[in-house]
């Protein structure tokens, strides 16, 4: 009966004035206790939610500078990425141009080496031909265009006129007296030989 009176009083305080039977007392008491517990839990949850919301606002205030800094860093990172892409494209273009230029220079080098080898071969042929012609000219000059005089000393003297080869075994003996003038020969070749003998 005491439990019934206490429960009835508490129900009336909460506005539940419907009739309450003795048979339904255990069920109503159980439901009432659950209601009280749920109400207290709800109040605690609201208090905790308010505290959490306040803490969340405080955290947002603390995080806001970092959020702004992160946005700035993200923009800078995007700009750097775009610059990197442009630099990569420019580097690829320059690399392709340099490779093409190197290929062109290699081809020109090969052509110049081949042309140089042809010029060297032609120069050697001309040098050989020139040497052979020089030797031939020298032979012809000795044979047909110069007279070679060999004196008793074994020396040879070339006279730049077309003469026959001759050899002098001994010199003309000197005159016993120089009181009489010596007549000059009419043949200039003989005169040349005499002058040569006098100089020796």
| Tokens (6 digits) for 127 | 């040098």
Indicate the domain borders of the chain. 1-143
Q: State the burial class of residue 104 (Cβ atoms within 10 Å of its Cβ: 0-12, 13-18, 19+).
A: exposed
If you search the block for the tokens 């120089």, which residue do you land on? 178
| Tokens (6 digits) for 90 | 């420019």
Per-residue pLDDT reduced to its tens digit, 50-77 = 888 888 888 778 778 888 899 999 999 9
Q: How far apart are CA 171 and CA 192, in angstroms?
A: 14
Q: What is the pLDDT of residue 180?
A: 46
- The least confident of 38-47, 54-63, 73-82, 133-142 is 54-63
Task: Identify the three-state secondary structure at position 87.
Answer: helix
pLDDT at 94 over 70: yes
Q: What is the pLDDT of residue 163?
A: 47
């Amino acid at each position: 009966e005491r439990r019934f009176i206490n429960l009835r009083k508490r129900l009336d305080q909460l506005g539940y004035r419907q009739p309450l039977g003795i048979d339904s007392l255990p069920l109503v008491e159980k439901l009432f206790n659950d209601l009280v517990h749920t109400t207290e839990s709800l109040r605690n949850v609201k208090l905790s939610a308010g505290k959490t919301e306040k803490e969340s606002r405080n955290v947002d205030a603390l995080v806001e500078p970092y959020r702004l800094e992160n946005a700035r860093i993200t923009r800078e990172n995007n700009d750097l990425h775009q610059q990197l892409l442009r630099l990569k494209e420019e580097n690829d273009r320059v690399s392709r141009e340099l490779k093409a230029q190197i290929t062109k220079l290699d081809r020109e080098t090969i052509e110049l080496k081949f042309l140089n080898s042809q010029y060297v071969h032609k120069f050697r042929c001309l040098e050989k031909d020139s040497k052979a012609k020089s030797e031939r000219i020298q032979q012809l000059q000795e044979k047909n265009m110069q007279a070679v005089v060999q004196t008793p000393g074994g020396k040879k003297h070339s006279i730049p006129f077309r003469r026959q080869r001759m050899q002098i075994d001994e010199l003309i003996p000197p005159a016993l007296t120089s009181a009489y003038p010596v007549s000059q020969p009419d043949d200039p070749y003989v005169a040349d030989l005499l002058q040569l003998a006098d100089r020796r």
